[in-house]
Every structure is written in structure tokens, then in C-alpha cells.
Structure 1
Amino acid sequence: MESPGRDFLLSTTEKMEAKEGPAAAESVIPITSHKEDIDPESFAPPDGGLDAWLTVLGTTMIAFGTFGLVNGYGGFADFYKQEYLSNYSPTLVSMIGALQVFVLYIFAGFAGAVFDAVGPRYLVPASGITVVFALFMLSITRPGQIYQQFLCQSVLFSVGATFSFFPSMGLIPHWFKRKLPYAIGPLTAGASIGGIVFPIMLAKLIPRVGFGWTIRIIAFMTLFCFIVATLTVKARRPTKPLPPFHMLFDFGAFRDPCYVFLATGCWFSVFAVFNPFFYLGLYASTANPSSSLNPYYLAILCATSIAGRTIPGVIAVHVGRFNVLCISTLISAILIIALWYTSTAEPNLIAFSALYGFFSGPFFALMPACVSQISPVEKVGARIGGTYAFMAPATFAGTPITGIFIRKQTIPNFQHLILFSAVGALIGTAFLFVSRFIKERRVFAVI
């Protein structure tokens, strides 16, 4: 699983047209409701300074402790399916992670609006308390009681995480403009590093200290992350009133054919793109049960995704966001068929993990940027939030549906799962290419 990327944040800077002044580089503007009393130049992005880089540090810690844990769900899934929840089907176990992503996505737009109204001073610690409490509750869940994992890991943790992770992404452009690509890199890497660290911790610590204490150690790490974030993350722009519900999402966007094909392509792509994150480790354990590499495939995948979510964004500046998004998604689908479907050999699985991590990254990094490129400036935030909400059902349905293929864990059954994933990815790619074609032809609906 990947987190949304740097180009979403680049797009939000288009909304900040205030001219930079020398005073902007030195001071943090206090949260206030009296916007008319504040000179716009006083909260223009300073592109540096101690407070700005401390905010980068804090948001990176948030990304590590929230979406990093979501990225590492494959490590949880392997343990649940083999030991802790072995009395349940793989489909039901995979729904824990699927619901986790669903809750994150469905509340993405609302979380940003709440953050704008409340500010980080209260929302970040409140989010941290919720996330840490969810992890401590997860540590005392009992084997064979899957409803406890759903309540703690899928619902409570994700509700807490979404109200800090997504707003953190939108906060960085308040501090940076020209240097925004450099500021986004740490936040993007934080989520991927979490996807590397947490599965390895689970594999190494559970046999030594047990599931409960392993989760408590992770909870204390997450608590430390949020303490740092609470002390370092600062608001720069004034708060604004919470908008009415109908303004959180731009439902009129579905009258624009370019947006419709883009959103539909993203729906089918996200329906399939998470399956390697959830099932690659279990597939490797089925194909090579005694291999010492089995716990590390997800870590390899997340490691290469760091580059996959940063480098293509730089390339997209020169060759186009839609071009990079379409080509990388097509390559991801081809890799599923060419490497994952055709072989159980460890070298091929390592190659697939590394390549898929890189080429699946641009989907999450560039999707919001593509939405912003075809949207009116005043509707960018609403459309991005609406796109995440639109994709949320696919995240919830995709992995459980594919899990039906492996009720009995055999290589042929896994191959059915892999082929189904590839078909979904190819359908999504086709819709993305149509969206690109419409954009290039400038065929837009009147909104």
C-alpha cells in the first residue's frame, strides 16, 4: 500500500498566490478567525526556516506512525492467516486491511476540512491519542476473535490516522513553494519506511516476546512519533470555518468526461494494486515455505516504492503527469503477469517486489496531481477528496474478492488471484489512457 504523493501537494500551492515578503520567512502566524486583520503577505510560504523544517520533521513522523503501519499490513496478514486468526478464511482476514484503507480514504476530504478549521495544535495530539489507544487495545486482542482486530485496527486506528496524515500533506505547501519537492521527500519516505520497518519487527519480535508486547512496542514508537509531531508541527495560515457537507466534494465533476474516465481508471487500478502488498508474502510462504526471505518481500516492495513516489514526480514535470501515470500503471500490470504469475522462484519474486514497488508508486503519487490538472483551482481540494471517497469502495472490495480464490492456499489458486489482479489493473489502465486522450483533445464538459 502506498500513500498519496508529492504532486498532490504541489497542486495545492496553486491556491497560494500571495507575494512572498521578507517578514514571511521569520514568523508563524497564530491561529485566528479574523482573516481580514491579517496581511496575506504575512503567511506566504517562506521556503525555509527553523519552524518550516521542524514541521517537515513532525509530518514525517506522523506519516511513519500512521500510513507506514497501513503499508505494512501484509506483515500482519501473514501472521494472522498462519497463526493468530487461522480459523478464518484468507478473504475475511484480508478485509481487516481493506477496511483500514477504506476508512482512511472515505474520510480524507472531511479530515482536511476539519484540520483547516481546528488547526494542528489540537488535532495532531487528538489523532495521536486515538491511534496509540487503538494499538494498545490491539495488543490485548485474543486469538480467534477477528471482530477485535476489525474494531481496533480497521476502524479506531484508521479514524485517528486519517485526521493527521492527510492534513499533514496539505500543511507542507503552507511553508514551502519553490523548495516544496525537497520538503515532500521526507514525508513520502516516512510512510514507505514504516512499511519496511513494521513487517520486519513483527517477524522478528513475535517469536521472542509474543504478539501483545510486539504491538505495545509499536504503540510506544507511534507515541514517540506523535509527541515529536505535537511539538514541531505548526500552523502558518489562519483557520477558516468548516464548510457545509455539500461543499466537501464536487459532485458536479462527474459531468466532466475527462474526470469520469480518470476516476473510473483509478477505481479499477486501486481495486487491484493493493493485492501484491497483501498477498505476496503469503504466496511466497506457500511456494517456498522454508525460505528465510519470506518476511522481507513486503519490505523490499516498500523500499523501492520510496523512489517510485519521488523520481516519477520529477520526471512528470518534463513529460506530463498523465503520461507517467498511464505508462507506470501499464508496466505494473505487465509485471503482475510477467513475473508474479509465471514463477515461484525466489529471484523472480525478489525482482517482482523491487520493480512493482517502483512502478506502482506513481499511481499514488500522481493521481491527485492529475485530478488537480483537469480541475478548476477553486475545486481542486473538493475533487481530490471526492476521488479518494470514490476509490474507497474499491479498496474495501478488491482484496477480499481476490482472497476468495485462495480459500485453499495452493499455487494454482494463487495464480487465479494474480490473473484477476492483472485484469483489473489493465482495465484501469485503459480508462486512464482514455482520460489522457480526452485531456489532450481538450474535450471537457461544461461544468
Structure 2
Amino acid sequence: MGKELLEPSVTPIGPDSLEPPDGGLQAWLTVLGATLVGFSTFGVVNAFGAFSDFYNRIYLTNYDSTIISMIGALQVFVLYFFGAFSGAIFDAVGPTYMIPVSGFITAFAFFMLSLTKPEQIYQQFLTQSILFNLGATLGFFPALSVIPHWFRRKAAYAIGCVLAGASGGGIVFPIMLNHLIPRVGFGWAVRSIAFIILSCFAVATFTIKTRRPRKPLPPLYKIINLSAFRDTRYALFAAGAFFNILSVFNPFFYVGLYGVTLHGESKLSPYLLPIMNATSIFGRVLPAILADRVGRFNVICISVLLSSILDFALWYPTTGETPIIVFAALYGFVSGPFFTLMPACVNQISPVESVGGRIGMLFATLSFGALAGTPIGGLFIKTHTRENFQRLIIYTGVLGLVGAAFLILARLRCERRLLARV
């Protein structure tokens, strides 16, 4: 009986039952719990643009956009860098402890954020950037890692649901902040988000189950797999993903501020980020299903290329409200496959025994790009003028094109035939 109490999140199975069932009540309950974890971890990160707008305009006016953007950039860095280790810890420990601990830390971080003072930016760094994301990495990556325990043929769809939950947070939380801050103040608006995080993790704790036996925690050299870069395909792919991560978050962080710069406090500006995240839900799910049919590398290359083209063709010349709404909607959709398909592409070009280490190494590499990308972008907009935003857009688009070029080279290294399914 004591053992049962210690391992409530492991579904007992026999040695012949490890094949994913691709459905069933417990499988979809696990997807539900994992989606709620995505909603309340990466969903909060996706909502940073709304925090950034508030910090720039009201709460942290003594600091320029570059320093404020570092709050969001450090969020992604901590989440990605420690995500390289989180998967291995999950294999060794399982969700029994990781999910509730993640929920406690993330909710506690936001309760602490609600107590921070204006013009004391170190407090936002400690609570929102570091503490929250140390907790989030213990939940978000295990929520993704548990899906293959239950799904094989439908794995892309199930993982897409988890990532769609992350986009859902990017819709709900900005709208909450924009409506609650004027009514109840920043403190209670943030506490409301903390209570939602607690509720989501409470459900996830009881619904996420694993089916596979636990593994010993591997040595550090197997978690950080530098030898992966000897594979030219992997090295080119990692370079392309790195350059794209430098650019891909800029529209998410700055589109709302750009709307305010052009049109002031209009009724539509607070909804630009939620619109972008709403279409990103479809961009993370539908192309992932398509990728299984036409090729994962093909889809991710087209996605990154189209994102850069949109920066130049639509965001750069935009002055009216309608075009920027169209840009937000289209960019959210075409940028979505990049996040969904990165692990799938690495899996496709890696030996089975090296997949975990290579994915962890990729996220550790991308964490430095995420740390640098949006703060460098913020250097262009120390004063909020259209001309300065256009410089930011050029920076964003050029980096995206460089990333697309490397991804295309990785795809051609896998298969030179242009119409092949890769």
C-alpha cells in the first residue's frame, strides 16, 4: 500500500503493454492535463507582450524598452535552457512530483509578482523571469514528454493540443490584464492569474499519467549532447532555429506597443496580441497534421520563410488598424509550425537513443538566442516612433530569412529532391 501511495501517477502495465494505445479515456485525460499545463506555463510567457505594454506605459517608465524586454527574453531563456534537463528528470522521476511542484512554484511566483512595486524592475526579473520559469520548466516539458507514452499515430495532433493550450494562455491572459488592471489594479489582476494557474495544475496533477517504466537519471554528458553537432543536418537545423528564435518573438512582444504607437489607446490595440495567439493555435495544430503527410522539414522551412516575408510585406508598410490586425492574424498562423515541428524534425534525423539528448541540446542552444533576440530588437525603439519600429521590423525579417536559409540547407542535406517528402 505504501508503494501505491508513492507512485499515484503511474498506470500499472505489463511488459507487453508499452505500445501507445492512441486513444482511450486516460490518454485523452492526460492530453487535457498537459494542455492545462501548457496554458498556465508557456501561455503566460506568450502573454508577455501585454505585460510589456503595461510596463512601458505605466509601471516601469524609468527604464527603456530594451531593459523591459529583457524580462520576457529571460523568461524564454530560463524555460528553454533548463528544459534541456527537464526531460531527463521526467524520465527518472515521472509526473507524480514534478507537476504539483511546478504548479506550486509558478503560482507562488505570480503571487510574489503581484506584490512588486513600480519602478523596481529587479523585482519583476526575480519573480516573473526567473522564479516563474524555473517552475514552468518542471511542468511544460514533462507535459510534452508524456504524450508519446499514449500516442503514436495521433502524436502530432496530441502535441499540437498541448501547444495550442500555450497559445490559449496568450489569448486569455492579455485580455484579463487589459480589463482587470484599470478596475482592480495590477496586484489583483496578477493574483487572478495565479489562482487560474493553481486551478489548472490541480486538474493536471490528477489527470496526467505515465505508462512507461522510469529510467535512471543519465550522466550530464548524455543530457548535453555536444557530439550532435557533428551531424551536418543537425548542425544546420540548429543554426536555422537559432537565427529564427532571434526574430520570431519580436512580433509577439512588440505588436501591441506598435499599435499603441500608431493609434494611441484605441479599442483594438489591446487585442492584437490575443489575435496573434488565437491564430497561432491553428498554426500549431493544423500544419503539424499536414507535416506527417508532406514532410516535417518541408513545412517548417515554408513556415519560417513566410513569417519573414510577412514582416517585410505587411508589417513594415502598415499604418492603418486593419492591416496590422491582418498581419497579427497571419503571422500567428504561419509562425506556429516552427514551435510544433522543431522536436519532430530532430527526432527524424536522430538515432533513437540520441533523440532526448539532441532535443535538449537544441533547446539549450535556442535559449541564448531567445535571451538576445528581443532585447536587441528593443534597442531600435528607445523612442516609440514608426521609423524606429521599421528598423526593428527589418532586423526581425532579415534574421528570419537567414534562419530560413539554414533550415532549407538542412532539408537539402537530408534530401536534394525538391518535391520529396522530408
Fold equivalence (TM over 0.5): yes
Q: Which residue of 1 aligns with 2:303?
A: 328
SS class of match (1:107):
helix
- From 268, 279, 283, the equivalent of 2:254 is 279
Hey, what's the Cα distance between the residues in 2 that align with 1:401 and 1:438?
31
Displacement of 1:38 after TM fit? 7.3
Q: Is it true that 1:71 corresponds to 2:46 in the alignment?
A: yes
Do 1:31 and 1:238's aligned partners in 2 also have CA atoms closer than 8 Å? no
1:181 Cα deviation after fit: 4.0
Q: Percent identity?
A: 59
Aligned partner of 2:151 in structure 1 is: 176
Q: Matched residue of 1:309: which SS? A: helix
Partner amino acid, structure 2, of 1:247: K
The answer to which of 422-431 and 184-193 deviates more is 184-193
Is 1:251 the equivalent of 2:215? no
Say whether 1:157 aligns with 2:132.
yes
Say whether 1:62 aligns with 2:34: no
2:56, 2:65 within 8 Å by CA — same for their partners in 1? yes
Q: Is the 8 A contact 1:31 1:235 kept in 2?
A: no
Q: Is the 8 A contact 2:163 2:340 kept in 1?
A: no
Q: Tell me by how many angstroms 1:191 deviates.
A: 0.8
Q: Distance in 2 between matches of 1:263 and 1:184?
A: 21
Partner of 1:52: 27
**Would the aligned equivalents of 1:48 and 1:175 in 2 still touch at CA under 8 Å?**
yes
C-alpha separation between the residues in 2 aligned to 1:177 and 1:228? 24
1:375 aligns with 2:321: no
Give 2:280's aligned amino acid: S
Native 8 Å contact 1:91 1:403 kept in 2: yes
Question: What TM-score comes out, normalization by structure 2 length?
Answer: 0.94
Alpha-carbon distance in structure 1 between the residues aligned to 2:324 and 2:15: 53
Q: 1:240 aligns with which of 192, 199, 215?
A: 215
The Cα RMSD (Å) is 1.7
Aligned to 2:334: 359
Q: Is the CA contact 2:151–2:158 (under 8 Å) kept in the aligned structure 1?
A: yes
Q: 1:178 to 1:259 in 2, by over 3 A?
A: closer
Q: Does 1:220 align with 2:220?
A: no
TM-score with structure 1 setting the length = 0.89
Q: Which amino acid aligns with 1:229?
A: A
Aligned match of 1:25: none
Q: Residue 108 of structure 1: CA displacement?
A: 1.1
Is 1:415 paired with 2:393? Answer: no
**Cα–Cα, structure 1 residues 183 and 38, in superposed 2: closer, same or farther, change >3 Å?**
closer
The equivalent position to 1:433 in structure 2, one of 389, 408, 415, is: 408
Say if 1:31 and 1:239, in contact at 8 Å, map to a contact too.
Answer: no
Describe the superposition over 1:306-363 as per-residue Cα deviations: whole angstroms up to 9, x where unpaired.
1111111122122211111111111100100011111111111011001100100111
Separation (CA, whole Å) in 2 of partners of 1:441 and 1:422: 26
Structure 1 residue aligned with 2:420:
none
- In 2: Cα distance, 1:44 partner to 1:319 partner: 25
Shift of 1:57: 1.4
Measured in 2, the distance between the counterparts of 1:401 and 1:179 equals 39
1:63-116 CA-to-partner distances (Å, cap 9, x unmatched) read 111111111110000000000111101000000000000000001121011111
CA contact (8 A) 1:270 1:395 kept: yes
State the aligned residue count: 410
Query: Counterpart of 1:43 in 2: which secondary structure?
Result: coil
| Correspondence for 1:144 | 119
What does residue 276 of structure 2 align with?
A: 301
Match of 2:267 among 268, 292, 298: 292
